[in-house]
Amino acid sequence: MATGRRLVGATGAVAARRSVGPAACRYRHRIGFHRKDRSPVNPSWRKPAGALLIVVLIVLWAVLVASFSGAIGSLHPLAQALVYIVTGIVWIAPLKPLLRWMETGRWRA
C-alpha cells in the first residue's frame, strides 16, 4: 500500500527505497552489493585442480572398465547392460568428497 510517497508493507513497516527488477540486479552486481561479506574475491586453486582430478578420475575409470571389456563381452547382453549401468554410476561416488574439498577445502563434512 502506498501512503504518500512511502511504501508500507502489510505489517505497516516502511519499505526501504531501492530499485527492484533487472536494473537493481545489474546495479548491485556492478557495485558489489550482491555479496554478503563484502570482502574481495580470491580465486581458489582448488577448483581447477579439482576439475583436473575429475577428468583424470573419469579417464582412469574408463580405462579400467575397458580393460575388462573382453570378459564383459562374453556375458549375456542383459548382463552386459547391467554391468555397464553399474560401472557408469559407481564412478560418481568419489566425487562427493572431491566436490566438497573443491568448495570448502575440507574432505569431510
Taking only the tens place, the pLDDT of each residue in 6-56 is 555 556 555 555 556 665 555 555 555 555 555 556 668 888 999 999 999
Chain centroid to Cα 7, Å, comes to 38
- pLDDT score for 86: 93
Q: What is the DSSP letter of 11?
A: T
Separation between Cα atoms, residue 101 and residue 11, nearest integer Å: 44
Query: Which residues, in sequence order, are CB contacts of 72 under 8 Å at separation 6+?
Result: 80, 83, 84
pTM beyond 0.75: the answer is no
pLDDT above 70 coverage of the chain, percent:
61
Cell readout for 49 is: 585442480
Q: Which of 15-29, 58-72, 77-91 has the lowest mean pLDDT?
A: 15-29
